[in-house]
C-alpha cells in the first residue's frame, strides 16, 4: 500500500451547482400541525436550507478540515482516505477509530486530538495514542468499490493492511455503528494484532451462537421485543438501504434538500436532544455532515454497505467468539443494544460503562447558539467521557504495553 498526502479542495463549480439546486428546491405540499411526526418538520428544513444557501461557508469548513493531517492509502482495492494524528510520546499506543452511517471522519476531530495529546484534557503523556481515522470505503474521500462484496469483514482486512503500512504491528480498535462491526471483525480476523476493542454500539446483525434459545434471560427477551418495536417504528431507512439501496440512491444524489432531510432525521431521532436537534448540533455541524456526503457524491455508495451487511451479518457459529478484551460505553439514548449478558455470549467483555447522557452520536455538547453565529468547524460529536473510557481501557487491560516495543513509522 502506498501512502500519500491528501488535501480537500472542492471545485468552485460544485459549490455553485449546490447553491443553484438549493435555490430550485421543489418543496412537498404542507401538512398542518404535524411537526416532526412524519419524519421531518418542513419549517425546520426550510430554515436549514436557507442557511445552507445564504450563510454556510464551505470554504471555512474546508480550511479547518485541512488543518488535519490527511492521507490516502492506495492499493489495488482502491484508495482509503484517513487522518493520522501523531503523538510526541515515545510509547504511544496505536488506535484506529472507525465511524458509521451517517457519519464521517471529522466526527473524531476533537476526540482524536485529545487521544494524541492527552495533556489537552488533563492527562499524562504516558496515556497518549497514535490515532488513525479512516473514511469507510465509499464514504467521503475513500473511493467506492465497483463490485459487490465489500463488507465489515473485508474492510477489517483493509484496516489491518493500512495499519501495517503505517508501521503498527498491534493496535486498539474503536467503533460505533458500522464502525463497531468493522472493529468486531478486526477482533475476529486479526486477533493476534488487536490489543483490545472499545465499542459504543453493538452491531445490529450481531447474533451469538445459541444452542438453546429458550435459555435467554428475561432481560434478553425484553431487549429482543424492544428492538423489534424500534425497527417497526424507526427502522424504515435501514430496510430500504438493506434491500434496495439503488432505488433510493438517485434521489439522494440529485437533491441536496432530500439528502439533508434523510440525514438530519437521524441526528434528531438518535440523539438526546429532547426533540430539538439544535440543542445538540448547530447548523454548521449538521451541514458539514450533509456537505461531505453531497460534495463527494458518496451517499449512494455509503448506503450500499447496509445491503452488503445484510448479506454478510455478524452471526457467530458454535465456538466462535471475540476473545480480545472488549470495553463497551453505553449511552442512554443509543438506539437499542443488547444487555451485557447477551453481548457476553459472543464478546469477551471486560469493561462496561453506563454513560450519564448521550445517544448514537456519543455525548454531544448542549448548545443554544443561533445558527447565524457559527464560526468554527464542529469539534466532535463525542466529548471527553469517550477519551476517559479509552484511557481506562488502556490502563485496566493493556498495562503490559508500556514494557513492550511499540512499532512506529
Output helix, strand, coil percentages for the chain, rounded to the nearest 5: 45, 15, 40
Q: How many angstroms separate the Cα of 56 from the Cα of each of 19, 52, 290?
A: 11, 5, 12
Q: How far apart are CA 155 and CA 370, in angstroms?
A: 39
Sheet holding 78-85, edge to edge: 2-5, 70-75, 78-85, 129-134, 93-98, 171-175, 194-199, 322-330, 347-354
Those residues with Cβ within 8 angstroms of residue 189's Cβ, 6 or more apart along the chain or in another chain: 153, 156, 157, 160
33 is catalytic: no
d(CA 314, CA 316): 6
Phi, psi at 87, each rounded to 5°: -110, 150
User: If you ran DSSP here, which 8-state letter would residue 369 be given?
Assistant: -
C-alpha 234/C-alpha 219 separation (Å) is 22
Asked about 347 being catalytic, the answer comes back as: no
232: annotated active-site residue: no
Q: How many CB atoms lie within 10 A of CB 25?
A: 17
The residue to which cell 493496535 is assigned: 171
- Active-site residue (options: 177, 265, 272, 284): 177
Contact call for residues 65 and 106 (beta carbons, < 8 A): yes
**Exposed e or buried b per residue across 357-378, where buried means at least 16 C-beta atoms within 10 angstroms of its C-beta:** ebbbbbbbbeeeeebeebeebb
In degrees rounded to 5, what are phi and psi of residue 188? -80, -45
Catalytic residue among 168, 306, 342, 347: 306
Q: Which of 81, 99, 174, 360 is catalytic?
A: 360
CA-to-CA distance for 320 and 209, rounded, in angstroms? 8
Beta strand ranges found along 150-275 (DSSP E): 171-175, 194-199
Whole-number Å distance between alpha carbons of 115 and 279 = 26
CA distance 379 to 365: 10
Instruction: For residue 258, give the 3-state DSSP assignment.
Output: helix
- Residues designated as active site: 177, 306, 360
Amino acid at each position: 500500500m502506498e501512502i500519500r498526502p491528501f488535501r480537500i479542495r472542492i471545485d468552485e463549480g460544485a459549490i455553485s451547482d449546490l447553491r443553484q439546486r438549493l435555490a430550485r428546491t421543489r418543496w412537498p405540499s404542507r401538512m398542518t400541525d404535524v411537526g416532526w411526526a412524519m419524519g421531518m418538520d418542513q419549517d425546520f428544513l426550510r430554515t436549514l436550507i436557507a442557511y445552507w444557501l445564504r450563510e454556510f461557508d464551505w470554504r471555512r469548513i474546508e480550511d479547518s478540515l485541512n488543518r488535519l493531517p490527511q492521507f490516502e492509502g492506495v492499493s489495488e482495492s482502491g484508495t482509503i482516505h484517513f487522518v493520522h494524528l501523531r503523538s510526541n510520546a515515545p510509547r504511544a499506543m496505536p488506535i484506529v477509530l472507525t465511524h458509521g452511517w451517517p457519519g464521517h471522519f471529522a466526527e473524531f476531530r476533537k476526540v482524536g486530538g485529545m487521544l494524541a495529546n492527552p495533556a489537552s484534557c488533563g492527562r499524562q503523556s504516558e496515556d497518549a495514542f497514535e490515532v488513525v481515522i479512516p473514511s469507510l470505503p465509499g464514504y467521503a474521500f475513500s473511493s467506492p468499490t465497483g463490485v459487490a462484496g465489500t463488507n465489515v469483514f473485508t474492510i477489517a482486512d483493509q484496516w489491518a493492511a493500512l495499519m501495517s503500512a503505517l508501521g503498527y504491528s498491534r493496535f486498539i480498535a474503536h467503533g460505533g455503528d458500522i464502525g463497531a462491526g468493522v472493529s468486531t471483525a478486526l477482533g475476529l480476523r486479526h486477533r493476534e494484532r488487536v490489543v483490545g476493542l472499545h465499542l459504543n454500539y453493538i452491531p445490529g446483525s450481531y447474533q451469538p451462537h445459541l444452542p438453546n434459545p429458550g435459555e435467554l434471560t428475561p432481560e434478553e427477551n425484553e431487549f429482543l421485543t424492544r428492538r423489534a418495536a424500534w425497527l417497526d417504528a424507526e427502522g424504515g431507512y435501514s430496510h430500504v438501504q438493506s434491500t434496495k439501496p439503488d432505488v433510493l440512491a438517485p434521489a439522494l444524489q440529485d437533491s441536496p434538500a432530500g439528502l439533508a432531510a434523510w440525514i438530519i432525521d437521524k441526528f434528531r431521532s438518535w440523539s438526546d436532544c429532547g426533540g430539538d436537534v439544535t440543542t445538540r448540533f448547530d447548523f454548521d455541524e449538521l451541514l458539514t455532515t450533509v456537505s461531505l456526503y453531497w460534495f463527494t457524491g458518496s451517499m449512494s455508495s455509503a448506503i450500499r454497505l447496509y445491503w452488503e451487511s445484510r448479506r454478510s451479518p455478524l452471526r457467530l457459529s458454535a465456538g466462535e467468539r471475540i476473545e480480545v478484551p472488549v470495553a463497551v460505553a453505553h449511552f442512554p439514548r443509543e438506539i437499542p443494544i443488547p444487555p451485557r449478558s447477551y453481548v457476553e455470549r459472543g464478546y469477551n467483555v471486560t469493561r462496561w460503562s453506563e454513560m450519564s447522557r448521550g445517544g448514537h452520536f456519543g455525548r454531544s455538547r448542549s448548545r443554544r447558539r443561533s445558527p447565524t453565529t457559527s464560526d468554527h468547524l464542529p469539534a466532535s460529536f463525542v466529548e471527553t467521557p469517550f477519551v476517559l473510557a479509552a484511557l481506562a481501557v488502556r490502563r485496566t487491560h493493556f498495562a503490559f504495553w508500556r514494557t513492550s516495543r511499540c512499532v512506529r513509522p
